[in-house]
Amino acid sequence: MAKRLSETAADSQSAFSLFRCVSNIRYVNRLKFFSEVEHELKRIKSDRESPEIIALVADWGQGKSFFLDIIQEYGKEYHIDIKKVNFSDILDQWVPPKEGVVLIDEVENLVDPIVFSRHREEISDFWINLKTLANSQGNSIIYLSMTPSAFSKIFSVGGQIQYLFQETFPAFLERIKKVSLSLPSKLEFLLMINCSLKQNGFGDPDILKYLEFMDLPFWVTQPERRKYTRLINDVILSNFPSVEETFQEIARGTSKNVLNDEEETVKEKELLKLEDEVEVSERKRIYSTLMKRIGLTEDEIIEPLKKVVVKGSLIPYSKWLQATSDLPLASNLEDFLLTISRSRSVEDSLYIFVSEELEKVVYEGISADTDTLKKLKERTLPLASGEFYALRWDFYERIVNANVGGLIVDFKSREEKEMALRFVNENITDNKKLMESLVNFIKVAKTEWKVDKVNVMSSQLASLQISINEKRINVLLLYPTSEVDESILERSQNDVVHSVIVIKNDFVTDNQDMIGKLLGSMDKLSISSTLLDIPVPTRRQLLYLLFANKLREGANIRYDSIEIKLGELKREIENTVNKAYDTLIFPQLPATKQRLIQSFNWLIFYPMNEVAEVKDVFEKTDSIVNQKFRIFGSKQFHLEDFETESLLQEEIVPYLVSNGVIKEKNGLLDFRDLNGEVPRRISSIVAGLIRQKYGEYVPMLVNSFISSASGTPDEKLVNTVARLFQTKADQSLNFLTYVSLVSGELFKNLEKDEIIKSILNKISEISQNNIDDYFLTAKRRDAGIRSLSEMRNVMLRYKDMCMKAEEDLSFLRFCSAYVALSSIYDKLSSLAEESNNQTENQVKLEILNKIDVIVKVRKFLGIEEPTEEERLIETIIAKVNHIGEISREIEKIIRNLYNEGKGEEFKEAMDETLSAISMPQDQPVHLKLFVMKVLRSTLNGMRVPLIDFLKDMEIFNDINKLKDSSRIIADIEILFDSLNKAMPELPLIRKETSKVSQEIEETMEEIKMKVSKYEN
């Protein structure tokens, strides 16, 4: 009795025996499914420092349990600790081990809505345990067997893991290794049949003879475990070694309904037509020819089939591999060309059919004039020998249902199904229809997406816009048949492109380097991209879907089958588009009480480019910038008002680090490499989108840098970034745009050298007025003098550091600091010029007018000696011209006052004084103007409270002495003014009196001279 294979995972020993037999071949690297098994066995034999978590992904029936059976049996043989855990066990406080191998099957149950709702806490604990294991030390491996759909629902954006672990989702995802099982190739299919027959005691000669005719079973059997086992159990083992009986069971027996989802293996109507053309006795030859298809001898071909064959030769499989090792197209052709020609063993019996008309033996669409196909023929035909034949594929498909995998569309009638099949066959090589079918597939498979603005521009290019939530993703579909480069973006008719999906063209291989370069260039343009492999069976499914869409009524789309049959294609597109969607999600920073830009500027203004502690950052930035440039009360100052390092050290830096804005290590900041992951990622995305949107972007970014360095992010750039991310400008966007710009991170992915050179040229053009002047500023807890000359010295230091940015981008922040400080300096120097003009042309003139009145009254009274008031005022005015000395004296006094705790009193007195002398409190206090206005106000009899704090200074002591004289001066002015009004002729009288007196004196002198002369 034949030893039947198990259709379930119950018999792990038979699975391991089959693996041992199949993999015992020198071509093991050409296997698809079993080579992956071999790779995993090597994994479990090796040691590791930390545990590995493997997601074993394949559709239902495609070998996941079979895969785990082999691993389990392998562990038994080599004494490796391997445990198979039931799904229910992991929901019962299961803790993964740190040693050994654990196999968990059917993990897709975790995303079952009912299971998740009932066991949410247990499922969360399961993932927490796995995450903890992944971050620990150990030598264990955890295999998680699941379908592609489950993998997507668990690990993709918005999946179960992200739902459970919002913050650590990306890090955990990086620890998961995905192993996707491939469908068995024809080589593996033949080897599995060979091994199954051997295990049932059949000899090599009979097996090899039978294997020659296993081409048709390969094409009509859906690659699933149950269908393969039914083929072997119900067809092969039951009919071996009869080829005719095997064919009849496949074509007309009960097995035809179970070998694939279409429940059709051989198209009976077409077979009957062919049978009618020959005698009954000759039909056996038809069956054997259809079963073999390739590698036929001339004697095997019956008359009606002679017109549908291609002549060729056979080349040993080993020589084929050597000749085509560098031609990827060769591996795609093997399933169509591999055959058996009896020899001593199955290895030696493997041959490849080659022909000058090779393209007629495989799916339609391979062009006979492509360089790759020509190269393949040139290499292999000289190595081939003999005269053999193969059925043309177009004929073969008319009779044999080679649509492996079944349909994803149910048609209501046979006629509609045949119409669909004709539509598919007619358009299987139409690349424009491929574009249409792929767009249609996206609409059908992702119903939650809104697909619009579809434009199929050619057989090579199509564009569409996908709306996901509030984002609009512009997608390009590309099927390259010739040269291709970034110029395709210009033909997209979109503002920017977010995703490029390139469809692999196996029949054009001379542009692979160009495609590789194109895909490689997508990252720098912030475009997500993928290379889709859409083999002919998949293309067929897409065309069936397209036909169903055109038919509308009469067809039912099997959405469950879409996930099974086209799940990988769907997920590849989904992942690519979702990646583009993720790039448009601008990160949101938590709210904070501090102004982010002004707080971050404590780091931007740090005057060194080195590794530093936060304490040093505060102290040096405070002394060189804060204490020399800050004007208290000015809301536009570039640094947040931190009085000690504690706020910077305990709140700001931890906030920036925890949110990925900057990096730190062991409490230290490395200013040569300060930016964290967030500005790096944002800068990369923005740079790519800017590359796409703007041709000449360098001047725009240079102007934005200079503008943003003034303390507020450039409005044009902020609005541009907001538009590119399809969002509104908010605090996070403003801040992160500012960080990316002034740190130079944005320029790393652009024409960096050109941008930096332009910025430095702009910096070189900045010039300052060479003014030595001083300002007084105060608040309740601090006060000081600001010197323009000291500011210039600081700015020159930053400028020197800035110029090093041409060699090292980390120095660019000094350029930002220099521009920012220059803007402060320019405002203060302009204010100084205005204040000096006011001092000279207004305040000083008013004071001099008072002196003039005193002088006139004094002279009217006949007093020649200047009064004490005149001398004091002239002395004060002379001292004001030495304002630098006054500034140093004031700074020393106010420092002592604040140290003595009298800062609040000083500030109140200063505010009163500014109000009294008509100077604004929200602007810097120009020291010279301030002193002169204090003098003027004192002469006007006003109370100046600040003098009480400054009277130890000689100049303010002198002003204070004038306080008692102010009323007398005022009275003199009033009296003088009254006299001028009451006796306007008084000046003339004084003038006439003076003239008469002079004449009298002159007359007296003449008399004296005459008397003297007379006496003599």
131-143 pLDDT, tens digit per residue, is 888 888 889 999 9
Confidence of residue 587 (pLDDT cuts 50, 70, 90): very high
pTM exceeds 0.85, yes or no: no
Mean pLDDT, range 59-66, rounded to an integer: 81
Confidence of residue 734 (pLDDT cuts 50, 70, 90): very high
d(CA 718, CA 733): 7
Q: Sort 100 into a burial class: Cβ within 10 Å, 0-12 / 13-18 / 19+.
A: middle
pLDDT of residue 683: 92
C-alpha torsion angle, residues 406, 412, 415, 421 (rounded to 10):
-30
Is the peptide bond prior to 328 cis by the omega test (within 30 degrees of 0)?
Answer: no
d(CA 228, CA 251): 16
Mean pLDDT, range 626-641, rounded to an integer: 78
C-beta of residue 824 within 8 angstroms of C-beta of residue 791: yes
Q: Name the nearest CA neighbour of 630 among 801, 798, 831, 779.
A: 779
pLDDT in tens, 198-251: 988 898 899 999 999 999 999 999 888 888 889 999 999 999 999 999 999 999
One-letter amino acid at 588 equals Q
pLDDT of residue 368: 43
Count how many Cα atoms sit within 13 Å of the Cα of residue 521 in the half-sphere of its side chain. Answer: 15
* Span of 252-256, 281-285, 516-520, 723-727 with lowest mean pLDDT: 516-520
* Span of 47-56, 369-378, 386-395, 675-684 with lowest mean pLDDT: 369-378
User: Residue 102: phi, psi to the nearest 5?
Assistant: -120, 130
Q: Residue 783 forms beta bridges with which residues?
A: 778
Residue with tokens 């000899």: 203
pLDDT of residue 494: 63
d(CA 960, CA 884): 21
Q: Is the pLDDT of residue 1008 over 90?
A: no
Return the number of other C-beta atoms located less than 10 Å from residue 589's C-beta.
18
| More reliable by pLDDT, 218 or 994 | 218
pLDDT of residue 365: 43
Mean pLDDT, range 469-488, rounded to an integer: 79
Looking at every residue in the chain, the average pLDDT score rounds to 85
Mean pLDDT, range 922-947, rounded to an integer: 87
pLDDT of residue 461: 86
Burial state string for 102-121 with b = 16 or more CB within 10 A and e = fewer than 16: bbbbebbbbbeeebbeebee
Show the tokens assigned to 287: 């069956």
Q: How far is CA 618 from the centre of its chain?
A: 32
pLDDT in tens, 871-912: 888 888 888 888 889 889 888 988 898 888 888 888 888 888
Q: How far is CA 675 from CA 599, 603, 656, 739, in A?
A: 15, 11, 10, 9
Maximum C-alpha span of the chain: 188
Question: What sign does the CA torsion over 949, 953, 959, 963 have?
Answer: positive
Q: Nearest-5° angle of CA 536, CA 538, CA 543? A: 90
Return the number of other C-beta atoms located less than 10 Å from residue 565's C-beta.
21
CATH fold of 12-180 reads Rossmann fold (3.40.50)
pLDDT in tens, 160-212: 888 887 777 788 888 889 998 888 899 999 999 999 999 888 988 999 999 99
pLDDT of residue 993: 59
Return the number of other C-beta atoms located less than 10 Å from residue 234's C-beta.
18
Mean pLDDT, range 919-926, rounded to an integer: 84
Q: Nearest-5° angle of CA 688, CA 691, CA 693? A: 110
DSSP 675-743: B-HHHHHHHHHHHHHHHHH-SS-HHHHHHHHHHHTTTS--HHHHHHHHHHTTS---HHHHHHHHHHHHT
* Span of 322-336, 417-431, 600-614 with lowest mean pLDDT: 417-431
Q: Beta strands of 63-212 (E only): which ranges? A: 82-85, 99-104, 139-146, 176-180
* Span of 1-15, 144-158, 218-232, 900-914 with lowest mean pLDDT: 1-15
pLDDT of residue 489: 66
pLDDT of residue 404: 46
pLDDT of residue 1000: 64
DSSP type of residue 83: E
C-beta of residue 638 within 8 angstroms of C-beta of residue 711: yes
Show the tokens assigned to 320: 């084929």
d(CA 912, CA 919): 10
C-beta of residue 385 within 8 angstroms of C-beta of residue 314: yes
d(CA 467, CA 472): 4
C-beta of residue 698 within 8 angstroms of C-beta of residue 733: no
DSSP type of residue 665: B
C-beta of residue 910 within 8 angstroms of C-beta of residue 946: yes
**% pLDDT > 70, the chain:** 89
Show the tokens assigned to 989: 């009288």
One-letter amino acid at 348 equals D
Q: Is the pLDDT of residue 925 over 80?
A: yes
C-beta of residue 661 within 8 angstroms of C-beta of residue 736: yes
Confidence of residue 367 (pLDDT cuts 50, 70, 90): very low
Mean pLDDT, range 565-578, rounded to an integer: 85
User: Residue 475: phi, psi to the nearest 5?
Assistant: -120, 140
pLDDT in tens, 747-757: 988 888 999 99
d(CA 406, CA 323): 35
Q: Is the pLDDT of residue 801 over 90?
A: yes
Q: Where do runs of H (alpha helix) occur along 262-358? A: 268-276, 283-292, 317-323, 328-337
C-beta of residue 901 within 8 angstroms of C-beta of residue 894: no
Q: Is the pLDDT of residue 730 over 60?
A: yes
Mean pLDDT, range 822-830, rounded to an integer: 90
Q: Is the pLDDT of residue 352 over 80?
A: yes
Q: Is the pLDDT of residue 985 over 60?
A: no
Residue with tokens 């003199």: 972
pLDDT of residue 829: 92
Confidence of residue 537 (pLDDT cuts 50, 70, 90): low
Q: Is the pLDDT of residue 657 over 50?
A: yes
According to DSSP, the β-strands at 338-340 and 350-354 are: antiparallel
Return the number of other C-beta atoms located less than 10 Å from residue 920's C-beta.
10
Show the tokens assigned to 410: 């149910």
d(CA 609, CA 612): 9
User: Residue 610: phi, psi to the nearest 5?
Assistant: -155, 180
* Span of 9-13, 561-565, 673-677, 690-694 with lowest mean pLDDT: 9-13
Q: What is the 3-state secondary structure (H, E, C) of 381-400?
A: HHHCEEEEEEECHHHHHHHE
Domain ranges of the chain: 12-180, 186-399, 409-583, 596-822, 830-982
**% pLDDT > 90, the chain:** 34
pLDDT of residue 1: 44
Confidence of residue 674 (pLDDT cuts 50, 70, 90): very high
| More reliable by pLDDT, 306 or 859 | 306
According to DSSP, the β-strands at 385-391 and 668-670 are: unpaired
